[in-house]
């Protein structure tokens, strides 16, 4: 809402606003209302009174959401700037149905509707990013908007069982020429500094937007883990107690740009260079006490451990988009791009005091490189009034090389598997979509997408040739209620899928860090890991049903029901296996298709001013969302047989209060996820504790072009608890005991002070 005090105001503007339903007249306090009449309009009419005009201008993001046929929530610059978040993950955690895995303030896996990794499609400018890329490396100031698509659409792909989060980089060429944001703070006891610079401009033939972010900071981590093993009678056979502390330093650069060349009406070429590099360094130490458990069955891995690690990640990308009109009134778009990414990680770890009595030096050097290229085309055509169609194709090819060298006391581990694995991934997709507007009240679209992915890889002892192809029909509808123009209903019927990742398919084992000696057994809570070349894609049928009510000043109240039927569900299964690299059986965790699952839920969202709810003069804005989630895995007995990582619900509530008479605005937000227990498979249970995250900010505006912002994240930091239990069986399948591991990790409060300037 934009509120103006206009005195005087042209009669034509006043009439236009009021006839559009966008104004309300208020007499000055203490002045009686004078009814309009022919008598009062004459020469003897009372003197003009001060009139306050409330212009209800719908935000552009809200207008996009309202017009879209498929359910699309758009968060623009105003909402991205509100809390002054330092990372994109902090922004995303407050959006409806979005959860961030891991401890508060440490980032983690981004998921919609609690469905875990892989179910949520994460895009940057409409494209998937290279493995290892973290959205937290992007400063929120470099983002134009975030789009959340609850149901898949043909143009953006159907690898989105839970939904799609599309992050759009800055593209506005009309802002102030320069924007600078610089600040510093602390994450617990570790300092943080960073700066973001944005440069915009345009000429008749060229528009440009250049941005760069540099950051440097550190983080501390501290956790306690206790592992208990019980026999069939409930007697303790194993008791391990670990205490771990580490400190990490991180420095990075993120730079991107957009150059738009204009060759004529509707004929443009966009070039988008993109570069990201991050370097980290960490040191830590750990103690392990094992008061119960001895002998070959329960060897003590170590008593003291210390490690040092260094890693780096860099990625360069150049994308181009050529847009041109066609003679028949259509529009052709060609997109091309190439991405090169590389990462390396070196860790050295010294352990002492384990069962054999000798010290142990572990060395691990992992490197990854990926080169990809893509060429996409899209043709759109207006077929008639309110009728349009779009069709397109996508080609992508990438080659990835993984190298790994691991030694214990200078002796190589798993040398027979080779050090290098090369994977080649080729993807082709075809799609079409037809959209109709039947009058001003009803719109619908029908679409379909066919996509095939072929993965080839080789290692010293194994080769993988995996191909999957999926056809996904899609239908969306929106109906604006005739007797209530601010209300509309949405319905979507979709087919979507989740393809196995390259790392899931490549069958190269990695040895448990706690039990690296392959001549000895490991434990079910610390298994080795391996891939599975026989995985099939997960397929899902989906339903979305929503209702939206738009308020006067850009607010909204909405409710959305969703349901998914998933076939070919992939789960990581731990089992005791006979393996080629050990003379004894080892516990190995590998992904498997285990069956089917159902998921459903309810998403509620509200954004409003306090004056929309009560009679008050306080200019407070409120926002809240609540997502209720339910799922059931058919092949896993209950209770708690839900999808992996899915909490029963999550909620957010926040408020913003510009203090009248001062240039100060304050606000706060609370994110809450309850503790829950999950039955992963028949013999495995996962536990996660309560997550409460309180954030706040204070913004002081010195002028329209200069301000200072103080932010507080994860105030009142609480410990983050997780755990798992594995039930054990003997050779005959009878119950033989259990083993559980519970970890309690410390979390930290982050404080940041930042200056924001435009010039």
pLDDT digits (tens, 9 = 90+) for 303-314: 999 999 999 999
What is the C-alpha to C-alpha distance for residues 628 and 570, in angstroms, rounded to an integer? 23
Yes or no: say if 333 and 326 are a contact pair by the CB < 8 Å rule. no
Residue 414, Ramachandran bin (φ over 0: left; ψ between -120 and 50: alpha; else beta): left
User: The pTM is what?
Assistant: 0.84
What is the C-alpha to C-alpha distance for residues 27 and 22, in angstroms, rounded to an integer? 17
Per-residue pLDDT tens over the stretch 471-497: 999 999 999 998 887 899 999 999 999
Domains and CATH numbers, the chain: 2-55 (no CATH), 60-758 (2.40.170.20)
Specify the pLDDT at position 422.
Answer: 87
- DSSP strand pairing (163-169 vs 120-124): parallel
CA distances 592 to 532, 534, 571, Å, are 7, 8, 6
What is the C-alpha to C-alpha distance for residues 425 and 128, in angstroms, rounded to an integer? 14
Specify the pLDDT at position 113.
Answer: 92
Paired tokens of 662: 């001062």
Across 26-42, b (16+ Cβ under 10 Å) vs e yields: eeeeeeeeeeeeeeeee
Specify the pLDDT at position 519.
Answer: 87
Furthest CA-CA distance within the chain: 107
Specify the pLDDT at position 93.
Answer: 87
Specify the pLDDT at position 59.
Answer: 59
Q: Which of 102, 134, 337 is nearest to 252 (CA)?
A: 134
Name residues of the chain where pLDDT drops below 70.
Answer: 1-61, 117, 175, 355-357, 418, 459-462
The Cβ-side half-sphere exposure at 365, using a 13 Å CA radius, reads 7
Specify the pLDDT at position 175.
Answer: 67
């Amino acid at each position: 809402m934009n509120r103006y005090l206009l005195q005087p105001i042209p009669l034509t503007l006043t009439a236009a606003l009021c006839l559009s339903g966008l104004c309300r007249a208020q007499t000055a306090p203490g002045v009686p209302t004078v009814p309009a009449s022919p008598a009062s309009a004459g020469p003897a009419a009372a003197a003009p009174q001060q009139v306050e005009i409330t212009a209800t201008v719908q935000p552009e993001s809200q207008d996009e959401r309202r017009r879209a046929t498929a359910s699309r929530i758009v968060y623009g610059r105003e909402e991205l700037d509100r809390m002054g978040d330092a990372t994109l993950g902090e922004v995303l955690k407050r959006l409806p149905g979005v959860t961030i895995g891991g401890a508060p303030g440490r980032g983690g896996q981004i998921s919609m509707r609690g469905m875990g990794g892989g179910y949520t499609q994460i895009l940057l400018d409409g494209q998937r990013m290279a493995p290892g890329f973290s959205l937290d490396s992007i400063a929120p100031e470099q983002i134009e908007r975030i789009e959340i698509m609850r149901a898949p659409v043909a143009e953006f792909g159907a690898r989105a069982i839970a939904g799609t989060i599309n992050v759009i980089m800055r593209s506005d060429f009309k802002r102030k020429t320069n924007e600078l944001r610089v600040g510093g703070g602390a994450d617990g006891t570790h300092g943080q500094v960073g700066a973001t610079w944005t440069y915009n401009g345009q000429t008749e033939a060229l528009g440009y937007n250049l941005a760069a972010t540099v950051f440097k900071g550190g983080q501390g981590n501290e956790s306690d883990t206790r592992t208990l093993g019980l026999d069939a009678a409930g007697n303790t056979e194993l008791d391990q107690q670990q205490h771990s502390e580490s400190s990490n330093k991180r420095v990075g650069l993120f730079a991107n740009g957009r150059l738009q060349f204009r060759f004529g009406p509707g004929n443009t070429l966009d070039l988008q260079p993109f570069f990201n590099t991050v370097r980290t360094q960490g040191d830590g130490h750990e103690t392990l006490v094992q008061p119960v458990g001895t002998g070959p069955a329960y060897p003590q891995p170590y008593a003291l451990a210390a490690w040092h690690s260094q890693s780096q990640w860099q990625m360069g990308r150049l994308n181009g988009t050529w847009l041109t009109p066609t003679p028949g009134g259509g529009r052709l778009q060609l997109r091309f791009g190439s991405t090169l990414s590389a990462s390396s990680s070196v860790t050295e770890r010294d352990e002492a005091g384990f069962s054999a009595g000798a010290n142990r030096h572990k060395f691990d050097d992992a490197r990854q490189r990926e080169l990809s290229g893509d060429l996409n085309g899209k043709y759109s055509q207006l077929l008639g009034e309110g009728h349009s169609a779009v069709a397109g194709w996508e080609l992508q090819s990438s080659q990835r090389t993984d190298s790994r060298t691991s030694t214990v006391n200078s002796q190589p581990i798993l040398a027979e598997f080779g050090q290098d694995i090369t994977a080649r991934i080729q993807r082709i997709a075809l799609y079409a979509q037809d959209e109709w507007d039947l009058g001003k009240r009803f719109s619908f679209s029908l679409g379909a997408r066919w996509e095939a992915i072929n993965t080839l890889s080789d290692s010293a002892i194994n080769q993988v040739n995996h191909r999957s192809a999926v056809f996904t029909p899609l239908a969306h509808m929106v109906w604006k209620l005739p007797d209530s123009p601010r209300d509309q209903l949405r319905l979507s019927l979709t087919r979507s899928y989740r393809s196995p990742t390259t790392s899931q398919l490549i069958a190269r084992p990695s040895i448990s860090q706690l039990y690296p000696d392959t001549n000895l057994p490991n434990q079910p809570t610390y298994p080795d890991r391996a891939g599975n070349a026989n995985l099939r894609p997960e397929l899902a049928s989906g339903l979305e049903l929503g209702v939206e009510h738009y308020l006067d000043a850009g607010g909204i109240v909405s409710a959305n029901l969703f349901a998914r039927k998933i076939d070919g569900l992939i789960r990581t299964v731990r089992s005791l296996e006979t393996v080629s690299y050990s003379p004894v059986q080892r516990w190995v965790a590998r992904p498997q298709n285990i069956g089917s699952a159902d998921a459903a839920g309810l998403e509620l969202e509200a954004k409003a001013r306090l004056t929309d709810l009560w009679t008050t003069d306080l200019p407070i804005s409120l926002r809240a969302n609540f997502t209720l989630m339910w799922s059931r895995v058919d092949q896993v007995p209950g209770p708690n047989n839900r999808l992996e990582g899915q909490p029963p619900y999550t909620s957010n509530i926040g408020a913003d209060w510009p203090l009248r008479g001062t240039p100060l605005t304050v606000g706060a937000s609370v994110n809450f996820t309850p503790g829950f227990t999950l039955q992963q498979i028949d013999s495995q249970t996962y536990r996660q504790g309560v997550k409460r995250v309180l954030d706040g900010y204070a913004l002081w505006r010195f002028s329209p072009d200069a301000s200072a912002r103080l932010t507080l994240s994860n105030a009142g930091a609480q410990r983050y608890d997780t755990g798992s239990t594995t039930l054990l069986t003997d050779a005959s399948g009878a119950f033989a005991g259990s083993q559980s591991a519970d970890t309690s990790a410390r979390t930290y409060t982050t404080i940041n002070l930042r200056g924001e300037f435009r010039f």
